[in-house]
Amino acid sequence: MCGGYARLGDIYKSIEEIMDLPSNQVGLSFPQNKKMVEEELERSLVLIDLCNSMQENLAGLKMSTQELELVLKRGDDAAVQLKVESFIRLAKQAQKPFKKITSSKAVAEDCRMVRVLAEAREMSVSLLESTSHLLLKQFTTTKGSKWSLVQKRKVVFEEEQLQVLEQSMGDLENGAELLFRRLIQSRISLLNILSS
């Protein structure tokens, strides 16, 4: 997943470079393409909001994992169970924004640059949604076997697993932040083309 964020960041960087080509700037500013560009700008706002929401959720989940490590060290089973439930609730909350997202209509063939932006946006939404599903899955399974959330009324975890999970959350958060910055930059480039 982390590699996916880095690759998407590279894709958006390449798209910006392509948008900066004079021929593409002229093509994007043609009156017949302007409406499609404006629609893509609106959709990019939704994606930016999704990415920002994912960053916030990942930060919350990372903090929840750290808190879980602390209560686990203290041996407070009731507090551990509450932290587990809190983590699962946060992971489920990360999936909510994707229920509101619908696939966009096909983009007309005459504006390739807008089609490229739409495809990159769809890949970004897909990666963010996959990340949200992974969060919950990572907490309930590891290496093909179920983590025992409750075993004889006790929560069973290995501290090592939580540290790996915490590191993964940090890596995903950094990836989402990189993608967020690229999305903002891409939107600014598109707005600059429209205003020139």
Q: How many CB atoms lie within 10 A of CB 38?
A: 13
Could you report the per-residue pLDDT of 170-196, keeping only the tens digit for each? 899 999 999 999 999 999 988 888 887
pLDDT digits (tens, 9 = 90+) for 111-160: 788 889 999 999 999 999 888 888 777 655 444 434 444 343 445 556 77
Model confidence pTM above 0.85: no
